[in-house]
Structure formats: structure tokens, C-alpha cells
Structure 1
Amino acid sequence: MDFGWLKRMMPRGLYGRAALILLVPIVTLQIVVSGQILQRYFRDVAAQMTTALVLDLALVRDQIASGGPAEDTALALQITIAPAAEGLTADRRLVYDLTGIEAIRVLRRDLPDLVAVDLMTDERFPVVALRAGDEIVALSVPRRRMSASNPHQLLVLMVFFGLFMTWVAYIFLRNQLKPIRRLALASEAFGKGQVVEYHPSGATEVRSAGRAFLDMRGRIEAMLEQRTLMLSGVSHDLRTPLTRMKLGLSILDQDADVAALLRDVEEMEALLATFLDFARGEALDDPVLTDPVTLADQIVADAKRIGGQISLTAPDLSEPVLLRPQAVRRCLSNLVSNALRYGVHARLTVVLADRAIRFTVEDDGPGIPPERRAEALKPFARLDAARNQDKGSGVGLGLAIARDIAQRHGGSLSLRDSADLGGLRVDLVLPR
């Protein structure tokens, strides 16, 4: 049996699910207990009491019909005899008078001469109209002789204390869920490259999870720092001999072989700079309020200064958003550089939404086949068949650096076809 519809209806948040777990047993208990109370008070007790009252009403009715001492008998039985009220020809009761339903049913069943029952005019002393001989008399009896007095009070108390205990349980439950929420926020912030202060608290299991998170965060930070230091050290150590080689080649006679060696040295320096950029991907600058349109305009201006054919599409009115400007600039610069390397014309588009900001870089180059886009995002991936490597040297770190920066912001980087330019389209989406 498919219960997918039930799963879709369930709350997705922890508070909602915990509240559901709390309320379902309480509501079920209320329904079961209420059903038993209704069965006892509204049917059994009311039926028994009304059955006993029928005997007294029948006795008074018979004495009135026979001319006996009906007044004395009625007084002894707490029954008041009065002329039948005008217009009392049908049973009357209040809508919420549930015990009155059972009382009227028993009176109708056991008193064949019953004309009508009025439970509405005076709730404390209802009137029973009976035919006694040739006349109709009204017998007023205390309501407590028909059914249990105020049975609704028990229901009111049950509902009140049920709601009160639900509120108390919710307060305790909220205090238990706070540490879980704090752990989730700390984990989410760390996923966005932010380190927020967090101290384990709450139940033993939550404290254990919190300590495990802190240990994991510490190990990840140490690993990233070691990787950055290692690559930075390697890059620095290799720059010195490369510089000596470059100086040595520059003083030699400039022939074809020396020129080729110089180009190799320059390419090695460029590769080392790229490695260093990739290693510094985790070392993001602090987030500050930044105008994304101004940032995009500066990147486009830098690309145009080196001869790139690129255009900018952005809203006229912009508002500052919380970004890491240096990291975003590095990411977009890599994307724009790739677009101009493999295409003739590129376009940068900025879209501001309520909860996110999207930078889109498109080109008119050969693009990347859909089946190889996941591979293109991996470090050191070089798709020679898809992207013409003759147009520039590289080690396949441009998209990897951009994706790494996007993930450190808590955003995403996706590749698709450009509908307008026909090449590759890269969407960088960052949360606001």
C-alpha cells in the first residue's frame, strides 16, 4: 500500500513533527475518554434517572385523572402541577443539551400519554405535558431528576487541562529542541564558510553530537590550513629556481630554443599561481555589504581593458548585499576568463531575487557536452574535445575554483547551454 500521500502531508520541520508527536496521543486520549463520558452520562445515567422519573409522573397523572390526592403526591415527589402552557405541542430543548435527547427518548417510550417536553424555557425545571383524562396538565420537575447535573463541566475541565498540559509539554519540548536547532545553525554556517560560536548543550545525545561536530570542524579547519600552507610553501619554493632560470635565460642569446624555454618558464609560473589560488580557496575574506552590480561592472571593465568582448546585463537599481567581495571577484574573474578564452563574445548577467543573487556568465564558444559537465567541475580536468585548449593554457582549475568558492558561500555553481549565445552558460547562485 502506498503511503506517500501521508508522508507528503507530514510537517518537514523538527518543531512541527515534535508537536505532531505530542498532540496525536493527547487528542486520541481526549476522544476516547470523551466517548466514554458521553456513553455514561448522556445515555446510561440519563436513561436510568428518567426511567425512575417516569414512574412518579405516571402516578401523579393517574391520580389527576381519577380525582385522587394528586397535590399531596406531587408535593412529596417534588413535582409541581400547573396548567399546560399555551402552544406546548412539540418537544423543546437547547442545541447543546445532549442529555435532553436521551431524556425525551425515554419519556416518549414509557409515557404513551405524553404530549410534549419543554427543556428550554426553564433549564432548571423542565415541563412535561401529559394528557390526564380529558385535560392536559403540565408537570414541572427538577432537571437533576432527569440527568446528571452539569455533565459538561467534566468535559470543559478535561479540555482545559488537556490544553494546559499540552502548553506545558510544548515549553519543555521547545527547550529540548533548542540545542538541536543551535547545532543545525552552526553546521549550516560552517557549510557556508562561517565559524560561529557553539557550545554543546541539551540532552546527552545532543551533547555528544555537538562535541563530534566541534571535533570534525576542528579537523577540517586544520586539514585545510595544512593544505594551504603546503601548496603555498611549494609554490614559494619553486618560484625561486624558476626566477633564476628566467634570469639565466634572459641573458643568453635570444634564439628559438631560448624563447621556447622562456615560454615554458612563464607557463610554469602561471601554473604555480593557479595552484596557489586553488589552495587559497578556503581562505575567504570576511563578508561585507557589497553592491553586486558595481562588482560585476568592475570585472567587465577589467576584461575589456585586456581586449575582451564582454557585455553586462544588470538591474538599474541595486542594493548592497552581504558578500565576500574578493572571493566573488576571483570566482567571476575565472568564469569570465574561461568564457573569453573559449569564445569570442561573453556576457555577464546579474539578477537580484528576494533570497538569492545570481551571476550568469555566457559565451559563444563550443560549450561542454552535458555528459561531461560534472567532470569539468573537478580539479585538474581538461576537456580537450569540448573546449579548445589551443586558445589558452590551463590546468583545469578555473571551474573548480569557482565551484569551491560558491560552495564556501553556501551557494551553487551549475553548467548548461546558453540559449542566446549558443555556448556555455554558468550560473553562480549565492544566498542573500
Structure 2
Amino acid sequence: MDLKALIPRGLFARSLLIIVLPVAIMQMVVTYVFFDLHWEQVSRRLSEGAAGDVAMVTQLYTANPTQENLEAITRYARADLRLSVAFKPGAKLPERERLAVIPAFDRTLRRALSGSLRQKYWFDTTRYPDYVDIRVEVSGGVLRFLAYRDRVFASTGGIFILWLTGATILLATVSVLFIRNQVRPMERLADAADRFGRGEHVDLKPAGSAEVRRATLAFLQMRDRIQRHIEQRTNLLAGVSHDLRTPLTRLKLQLAMMPPSPDSMEARQDILEMERMLEEYLAFAQGQWSEEPVALDLADLARTIIQDAARAGRTIDGSGLAESLPTTGRPIALKRCLSNLVENALSFAQTVTLSSSQNEAAIFIHVDDDGPGIDPDQYEEALKPFSRLDPARNQNRKGVGLGLALASDAARSHGGSLILERSDLGGLRVSVRLPV
């Protein structure tokens, strides 16, 4: 058996196991030693004494089984032996035994009675809380003895078990509360890191032990550095984009004033291509940090993409979309993600379909096309920024190779991923996986 499979995976369960398991082992050892060396020895002596008294009273009665002798024996047993004795004429010993909750009770008394009595006997340690019922078969009936429980067993056993159980429950409760308070700041830190990775705003205060506080402070400092880096990158690209748009605008005006010619038409196309490249650079630099997540329907968002393509004269089959795919995300980022995938598919295929699927953990939007596809060995390369994959995708004629990279970045910022595989249409299937 693999011991690793038996070890809990969570920090709370492991910490609880580290505290509770040694204490439980110690208590079991203490309990065993107590019952073996103290309780059982004391109870054995008490049971032997009680069994000897029962055997003596039985012998006194069998030696003279008269009513007068029985009355004298009864008075003597009650006064000096703390035994209640009664003769049941014509009675038989019960056939069914009533077993004690603690087997040591029955085992100790049975051993003592077997060593002291020659007659058949029966006893019950469970019917009465303060007495032990012992019955001995004699000629003409049954002698019934009721002995005080403290005459037969050591009374400290139950008290010891009660205290031990109470201490265990108290210790376990304190351990659970203490460990819970220590683990909760770590859970909040892990949740904050996960939400920050999805681009959500994180407000976290250091709490817990000194080590957890240090980790929280390190995370907050890292968050601030990442946000400053993103802001600097965005501002830089925005400035570059703004600075480049000014001369591009002047070029467009100059070309507009020039008489039409093949050269001027090509120059206009080059300027438009440069503007598209600037837009892609800026979109990639901004990432997914400019909007807050909201509740949205991914199926409705996909149908909006289909309607936008229809207005541009392109047909996309969306019959495979579910009626509703509720999730939480950034609408603009997700729409840009799906738009990039659809535009990429429309650039290289005649037939493009949008479909969806869902399981317990995630929802999927699938974009299928009948284009040339991508070699499986180049799936990872295709998701890198500025990767064009010329041989695989028939010479990407526009853009700078950021379409799939932007889509992948949007999916990752929502805690999902982009999956590339072979489509049933013969081309490429790109699936956007988002957690439920």
C-alpha cells in the first residue's frame, strides 16, 4: 500500500494530523497501560473477592437448604458481605447473555466465578447501573445475588475513560480552532494570488503567523511591481502609438492631395497596414487589465461575433452554441479573444463554425475551420507573440502574428487556456476553455 495516498493533501488536514495523531497514540498507550497494570489488577482482586463470597454463601446454603438457614444466610450476606441473596425455587438460568460495553468487565468476573464456583452460573453486568446480577444453579432452583458494582469492579475505570474522552474532545476542538486560524490567511493569500492572476483587483491585509505575513507582504510588493510594469509598458506603447499616428496622419493627408496613381494606392495600403499593426501592438501591450470582471453570457457574446461577421458579408455557423453559458469575465477582452480567433479562421478557410460544450469544471467555445490547419508540432509555437507560421497557414498576409497570442493571453487571464487541435472540418480547431 502506498503510504503517500493515505496522507491528506491539504495543509489544514496535515497540520491536524501532526497534532492529533501523536496525542491519540499517547492516549491509547496510557489507556492500555492503565487498564492492564492498574484497573484490571484491582478489578480482578475485587471480582475474586466477590466470587469467593458468592461461592461461600452457595456452599452454606447447599449444606443446609432450609428456609431458616436461608434467612440467616441472607441477613449475614446483607450485613457483612453487602450481598443481596434470594432463592428462586424452580427457576432456571437464563440462556442469553448480556454483554458489557467494556469486555474487560465480563472477562474479569467470568474468570473469578469460574475459579470459585463448581455450580453453573450466569451473570449480567449491564441491567442495573449500581449492581451486578449473579445467579447460581442449586438443587431445586437458583440462588440470585445482587452485588454492589464497586464490590466487583474498580470504579476508577469509568471516570478515567470519561476524563480521557473529555480531554480528547477539548484538545481536538482547540487544535481545530487554532489550526483553522493559522491556515485561513494562507487560503486568503492563495485566493488573492489566483484572482490577481486573472486580472481582478486584490485587496489583501497581512495576517496570521510571521511567515505568512512575510509571504503576504512579498506578494503585495510583487503585485505593485507588476502593476507598475504594466502601466509603464502601456504608457510607453500608447506614447509610441500616438507619436507614430501623427506622421501617419500627415502622410494620409499628403496622399489624399496627390493625384490618384498605382503608387499612391500602394502607399495608402501600406499606411493602413501600419495602423493595423499599431493597434495590435497597443492591444497586446494593454493586456487584460483595463476592465473589471462582470457576470456575462459567453454564448450571447459568441452570437454577437457571428452577427458582426454577417454584417461584413461572412457567414459563420453558430448552430452548435448552447442557449446560455453564464460565466464571469471581462466582456471586451473575451470579445477580442473570440474575434481574433474568428478573423484568423476566416483568413484561411471558407467554412467556419462556432460551437460550445461544458463539463463540471469548465465551459468551452470551439472555433472550427476547413483551412490548411497547423502541424501539431507547431501548436505551442503558434501561441507565441509575433509567430506567423508561414508554411502552416499559407503565408499570413496581414497582421503581425499577435492574434492567437492575444486570445491565449485573454483566456489565461480568466483562469482558462487556449487549446489547439485538429478539426473535424479538416482544418484547425481552437477551443477557449474557461472555468465555471
TM-score range, shorter chain: 0.7 to 0.9
Task: State the alpha-carbon separation in 2 of the partners of residues 216 and 259 from structure 1.
Answer: 50
Indicate the residue corresponding to 1:216 in structure 2: 222
Indicate the residue corresponding to 1:276 in structure 2: 282
Indicate the residue corresponding to 1:422 in structure 2: 426
Which runs of 5 or more residues in structure 2 are unaligned?
none
Say if 2:340 is the partner of 1:343.
no
Indicate the residue corresponding to 2:165 in structure 1: 159
Q: Mark the CA change 1:139 to 1:10 in structure 2 (over 3 Å): closer, same or farther.
A: closer
Q: Within 5 A, what are the aligned runs for 1:13-412? A: 13-40=10-37, 43-64=40-61, 74=77, 75-83=79-87, 86-88=91-93, 92-96=97-101, 98=103, 99-108=105-114, 110-119=115-124, 124-129=131-136, 137-149=143-155, 151-252=157-258, 254-315=260-321, 317-318=323-324, 321-351=327-357, 356-389=362-395, 392-412=397-417
Task: State the alpha-carbon separation in 2 of the partners of residues 275 and 430 from structure 1.
Answer: 25
Q: Mark the CA change 1:136 to 1:323 in structure 2 (over 3 Å): closer, same or farther.
A: closer
Give the drift of 1:352: 5.6
Letter in 2 for 1:102: T
Letter in 2 for 1:111: S
Task: State the alpha-carbon separation in 2 of the partners of residues 289 and 216 from structure 1.
Answer: 28
Deviates more, 1:33-42 or 1:155-164: 33-42
Give the drift of 1:83: 2.4
Equivalent residue for 1:8, pick from 1, 5, 28: 5
Deviates more, 1:35-44 or 1:157-166: 35-44
Task: State the alpha-carbon separation in 2 of the partners of residues 261 and 187 from structure 1.
Answer: 48
Task: State the alpha-carbon separation in 1 of the partners of residues 266 and 231 from structure 2.
Answer: 36
Deviates more, 1:396-405 or 1:294-303: 294-303
Contact 1:311 1:346 in 2 (8 A): yes
Contact 1:412 1:430 in 2 (8 A): yes
- Aligned residue for 1:151, secondary structure, equals helix
Give the drift of 1:245: 3.1
Give the drift of 1:13: 3.2
- Aligned residue for 1:389, secondary structure, equals coil
Contact 1:124 1:143 in 2 (8 A): yes
Give the drift of 1:260: 3.5
Give the drift of 1:422: 1.2
- Alpha-carbon deviations, 1:217-265, whole Å to 9, x = none? 0000111111111111112212222333343344445544444343333
Task: State the alpha-carbon separation in 2 of the partners of residues 96 and 41 from structure 1.
Answer: 19
Task: State the alpha-carbon separation in 1 of the partners of residues 56 and 184 from structure 2.
Answer: 70
Q: TM (normalized to structure 2)? A: 0.86
Task: State the alpha-carbon separation in 2 of the partners of residues 101 and 379 from structure 1.
Answer: 79
Aligned residues: 425
Letter in 1 for 2:200: Q
Give the drift of 1:25: 3.0
Give the drift of 1:102: 1.2
Task: State the alpha-carbon separation in 2 of the partners of residues 202 and 361 from structure 1.
Answer: 46
Which runs of 5 or more residues in structure 1 are unaligned?
none
Task: State the alpha-carbon separation in 2 of the partners of residues 30 and 131 from structure 1.
Answer: 45
Task: State the alpha-carbon separation in 2 of the partners of residues 177 and 97 from structure 1.
Answer: 39
Q: Mark the CA change 1:222 to 1:184 in structure 2 (over 3 Å): closer, same or farther.
A: same
- Aligned residue for 2:419, secondary structure, equals strand
- Aligned residue for 2:316, secondary structure, equals strand
Give the drift of 1:293: 2.9
Contact 1:93 1:119 in 2 (8 A): yes
Task: State the alpha-carbon separation in 2 of the partners of residues 255 and 138 from structure 1.
Answer: 128
Q: How much is the aligned-residue C-alpha RMSD, in angstroms?
A: 3.0
Task: State the alpha-carbon separation in 2 of the partners of residues 105 and 90 from structure 1.
Answer: 19
Contact 1:350 1:357 in 2 (8 A): yes
Letter in 2 for 1:428: V
Contact 1:89 1:116 in 2 (8 A): no
- Alpha-carbon deviations, 1:60-90, whole Å to 9, x = none? 4454455698667644333444325611266
Q: Mark the CA change 1:61 to 1:187 in structure 2 (over 3 Å): closer, same or farther.
A: same
Letter in 2 for 1:211: L
Q: Mark the CA change 1:152 to 1:238 in structure 2 (over 3 Å): closer, same or farther.
A: same
Task: State the alpha-carbon separation in 2 of the partners of residues 54 and 63 from structure 1.
Answer: 14
Task: State the alpha-carbon separation in 2 of the partners of residues 320 and 90 from structure 1.
Answer: 69
Give the drift of 1:343: 1.0
- Alpha-carbon deviations, 1:79-113, whole Å to 9, x = none? 444325611266844432531221111220x2251
Give the drift of 1:403: 0.8
Task: State the alpha-carbon separation in 2 of the partners of residues 363 and 104 from structure 1.
Answer: 85
Give the drift of 1:58: 4.5
- Alpha-carbon deviations, 1:194-214, whole Å to 9, x = none? 012111111111110010000
